[in-house]
Amino acid sequence: MGARNAPTRHWAWKRAGLALISCLRTSSPTTTSRSWRPSTAGLIIFQANKEEVLHKIANLMKKAQPDVLLCGPCFNYDTYAQMAAEVAAYIQDQTPVRTYVACSAENEAVIDHYKDQVKIIQMPKKGGVGLTGCPAPYC
């Protein structure tokens, strides 16, 4: 889901590979993962149609039955982190899917509000030190 680059983009899903899956396969050769990712739902569309978008994502999670949903990376974008945390909390509440939100420490309000509801993976802010090595802890 994206907030900054296309705030009015409508929600849509498509099957696609992610760099994280490649990383997981490299670190664990026995990993047999498929990945689905949203092309995006802009912040304006998400806020205007929150219940509809959350419901559609939950239905897709029930249909696809993934083990994990990673929301992010949000870097230090507070509105993106808020949206990702809302999605993660809803999916975790409505489905058996484990959810994670990847955001930087600058999203302190979101982290404090959601830390008991979803797992938060802290990452460097956009352009921050250590960003290039960031995927390694996920693997």
Report the chain (139 residues): mean pLDDT per 10 consecutive residues. Answer: 50 47 46 53 83 90 87 89 95 94 94 95 73 48
> Could you say which DSSP state residue 104 is in?
-
Burial class (CB in 10 A: 0-12, 13-18, 19+), 34: exposed
Task: Check if the beta carbon of residue 107 is closer than 8 Å to that of residue 75.
Answer: no
Residue position matching structure tokens 């899917």: 97
Q: What is this structure's pTM? A: 0.73
